[in-house]
Amino acid sequence: MKTNLFWTVSLVSAFSICNCLNIPDKGSIQKGLLSALDIKIHHNVGLPEDITPVDRIKSLLTLSPKANLDVISYVLQNQPEFTKLLVGKKKVNEDGSTAPEISKLQADMVKDVFKDKSSDPDPIPGYNYFGNKEFSKILGRICSFNPFFTAALTAGEGDNYLELKAFSNEPASATDSLYLQIMREMKDPSHRINTRFNLDMTVDQITVYNEKGEKRVIDSTNKKELDYYASGVLYNLFYFASTIHANIHILHYLMTAGIKSSTSHNKAFAAWADPYDDNIAVKHLEVAALLFKASRGGKPFC
């Protein structure tokens, strides 16, 4: 991750220098930049070829340098700490309370991320930033109102219930829901958690599968286990939503670049289209650097 972030900062800095020097489109430097800018995240999906290197560079410069550098520096500085706090450590104590390492991380996030100033008051006294641990209720509510999470729902048999289907013993099929297709990429069997909702979006039952594909059903009377596995479903949904979110950044940039490319023949249309790709190109770069196995100049992004 550090290598990719360092390369991202270096590339944006190079773009800034080239923009200030007003280097023309032709020449070896521009050809080299065009190759460096040929970032592909999905196979055979890329930007319009008639957009010049200078235009691609300029699109990366219409951003808030401070905001992006703050994000990059925050990740660089905190990633090792996150790793030490989270990887291989218990998240909760035996009594169900939050482990002290996680409590510290949560407190730091409230101070550094949620508040403009660490001294700012909470929205109300005793405000709970990280939920009340009634995960089955949280799951039903967030699937009702958050479109990223709602997109994972499918109709159950007979349309009498809705479900989140993260695992199937059946072979992969083109008819699999997008949620199931993405969850098949999660190789750890701990993510094999299917959820069935009543039509009022209360959790009716959760089915978990072991590494052999053997299932165990937890019904709504077993609240402790229901909440435990519902927290795992929320993790799965966060992964699913993050994948969709990242792809939106990619498609958004391709669409706005297409608008700019298709209007370049007309000054009036070009002027109208010009603002549409502002602050978007850098997201494409960040997605390539941090989230997907992308290529740059035909080689693995690194």
Residues 180 and 256 occupy one common structural domain:
no
CB 129 within 8 A of CB 114: yes
103-113 tens-digit pLDDT = 888 888 888 88
The answer to whether residue 122 sits within a structural domain is: no
Residues 241 and 257 occupy one common structural domain:
no
pLDDT of residue 108: 84
Residues 280 and 235 occupy one common structural domain:
no
The answer to whether residue 259 sits within a structural domain is: yes
Average of per-residue pLDDT across 161-183: 94
Query: What count of residues does the chain have?
Result: 302
Residues 56 and 156 occupy one common structural domain:
no
Does residue 184 surpass a pLDDT of 90?
A: yes
20-48 tens-digit pLDDT = 444 444 456 556 666 666 788 888 887 77
Can you name the residues that pair with 197 across neighbouring β-strands? 162, 203
Residues 220 and 201 occupy one common structural domain:
yes
Count: domains in the chain: 2
The answer to whether residue 96 sits within a structural domain is: no
Average of per-residue pLDDT across 244-270: 90
Residues 163 and 228 occupy one common structural domain:
yes
Residue at a domain's end among 206, 225, 247:
247
Residues 141 and 221 occupy one common structural domain:
yes
Residues 196 and 296 occupy one common structural domain:
no
The answer to whether residue 81 sits within a structural domain is: no
Residue at a domain's end among 226, 247, 268:
247
CB 269 within 8 A of CB 263: yes
Residues 53 and 137 occupy one common structural domain:
no
Q: What are 242-249's contacts with CB under 8 Å, separation 24+?
A: 242/291, 243/182, 244/148, 244/151, 245/148, 246/287, 246/291, 246/292, 249/280, 249/283, 249/284, 249/286, 249/287
The answer to whether residue 214 sits within a structural domain is: yes
273-282 tens-digit pLDDT = 888 877 788 7
Distance CA 264, CA 50 (A): 10
| Measured CA distances, 23 to 10, 19, 225, 241, 287 (Å) | 18, 7, 63, 41, 27
Backbone angles phi, psi at 299, to 5 degrees: -120, 160
Average of per-residue pLDDT across 211-239: 94
Residues 142 and 180 occupy one common structural domain:
yes
The answer to whether residue 284 sits within a structural domain is: yes
The answer to whether residue 117 sits within a structural domain is: no
Domain hosting residue 167, numbered range: 133-247
pLDDT of residue 30: 56
Distance CA 47, CA 64 (A): 23
